[in-house]
Structure 1
Amino acid sequence: MNKQTEIGIIGGGLAGLTAALHLLNQGFSVTIFEKNTYPKHKVCGEFVSNEVYSYLNSLGIDITSLHPSKINTTMISNRDGKSISASLEMGGFGVSRYIFDSYLAEKVVALRGRIIKDTVSKVDFNNDAFLITTENNETFSFIQVLGAYGKRSNLDTVLQRKFIQQKSPWLAVKMHYSVSYPNTLVGLYNFKGGYCGVSQVENKVVNICYLVQYKVFKKYKNIETFQENVLLKNQKLKKIFSQGTPLFEKPLTISQVSFENKPKIENHIVMIGDTAGLIHPLCGNGMAMAIHSAKLASELVISFLKKEINRDQLERSYSTIWDQNFKKRIQFGKVLSTILLNNFASNIVMKMIAFFPSILPFIIKKTHGKEVLDNI
């Protein structure tokens, strides 16, 4: 493949690896820049909606080989421990990022994609081409670059992205437990200042990941004290924690998680996954959105490289199609988060759902998309 059709991808997480596989499958050469080695645990809910299952299969990704849990039910619990369940029409699967990302990376290498372990420090765009500079002071030239480096990075500061200049009130915490928990269920447990997702991944391991407002968390010395005084006031969560055995030496955390709007194009870089926008974890759909955004970007990049569209059309089309697929979902997620964080409002909603059970399937539908067709 001529070097003029090379694609650089900054970040080797779920979105970056999926985009790489899509592009490699279509005969284009791809280089991924990833600062970490595989496998690696990441702060993530680790539930994937089946809306992207067929698309993943079309890329040669055999999800069954990862032995995921098969999830078809969701449950919401308020702070008092009262809960309501509903079936997930499309269903989903649970798989850890430790296993999933490493598997995708192996697929990329097998298709002769290049993964460079380094951090991108700068991206310049001149004469219709990109020049990437890494912390090891190496430079690489590409016709197109995709940004897939996650929720926040030093590169956001270099690119002067507006959201990075604003402090975010959120802290995310994730851990794996050995505990008895239904392998078909993804549970959402509300507590003061946040909410916690619980679901099984591969090998009967249970992933517990919660998001908490920093103003609530900072009153306590550490995670253990916070959990004891706040998180475990939800009796259903207390039961899970008391019966479980932690599998990590210490929880993984990420601070300054931002749910502010993010431009989809920065300095002509096409942003995908969490780099383009983040849905509240309570919606349980961030991984599927990352995969879907990689597909949307890859299809347009291919059209651009084939000279079917110009760069301006690529950028405008991607911003439009991203909004069409995800904007309303993200907005609804923000509203839902606001309701759940207010104990009074949360209790009213729970009572309404009890009287009108169809409300919960409506909420699920608003935070999930339609099946992503494998039209590559």
Structure 2
Amino acid sequence: MTFYVYVEPDAERRSTAGAVYSEYGFAIVDSLADLEYHLPRNPETLLVMIGATVDLEEALTFAAYQRVQRPLLGVIVLRRTLEPDVLARAMRSGVREVVDELDAEGIRVASARSIDLSKALSTTLRSSPDVQRAKVVTVFAGKGGCGKSVVATNLAAALCADGSRRVLLVDLALQFGDVAIMLQLPPNRSISDAISMAGKMDEAGLRSVITPCRPGLDALLAPSSPAEGEHVSRELVTEILEVARDMYDYIVLDTPPAVTDQVLSALDLTDWFVPIVTPDLPTLKSVRLTIEMFDLLEYPRDRRLVVFNRANTEVGLSLEDVEEAVGAHLSVHVPSSRDVTVSVNRGVPLVLSDPTHPVSLAIRKLADRCAGVSSNVESRRRLFALGRKR
């Protein structure tokens, strides 16, 4: 991880001052363009020190943009001479301090102050009840045909809670995503349209590539061409999710049946891990490997909700057999039903077309677990609502 960055186009300064800064953990880049490439790949960065030969207008523009997009990021500008008008303009642009490039002690003190401020702001934002970032729920299966996309689309619709929550459904199956066809959405916009915005993604940019589904539910679709998906980088996925977490209450990720770089970047930001199990030996093996991978990556066990899909299928495997095979407790049991296929062909999630269907009730139980809501309370609310409609 890189917490500090020093930007200096001048090769001589980079070799002298840069050598000193690198000993303190600074990454060294030679332009603001390289810095724009560096930051999305290092979202934990707390401090950027802009060298004296960087154009002042470009430095101030960068600081003004980052003040809104990344308020935790501190910007210090080094100058050869300190002029009053430069100091005033820098402060208005969001620069935390302007320091003489030869004042080593001043640079050290300014850096320490800026880092302390960033850490304090981070703690304040995390503890503030008014600041809620979206919970990321990743639905994953090690092989195809498990009903993963059905679970993901229905889960997103259930979390939406009739429009009272904001939910983004992201199709990370970049080569052969099914979300668009399952929800009958026009593939006019997709995640591949965000490629040109890599390194500078913001809320307006993300909104330009999402597709509204219904009140409270949006979708970020997979590319219509498999070739386009190859150009969606891990870093872009991270950047999209970081921006989306400030726009939504929940983000549901439908993933491919493979552990790609893009999937790993999503898993690193995930709050709830939802592996899908079906009662067949190849799937049980793949889920066991998935659970072991989660353990290896130290993803928290109490944040895993294993879904037993087609749980009522009679294939000679008991519930105990399945749990022993995958090495995990099965949190939610979703029964098999032909109505699921009918709902997929209609393009309407079953939780919306038939809220009291056994499959819908199971998915809503999963949604309640993700939302931290008591299923019993929610069930009473729904029954009361149904009673009033009659």
Tell me, yes or no, whether TM beats 0.5: no
Bin of the TM-score, shorter chain as denominator length? under 0.3
Q: TM-score by structure 2 length?
A: 0.23
Higher RCO (Cα < 8 Å, 6 or more apart): 1
Q: TM-score by structure 1 length?
A: 0.24
The structure whose residues are more often helix, as a share, is: 2
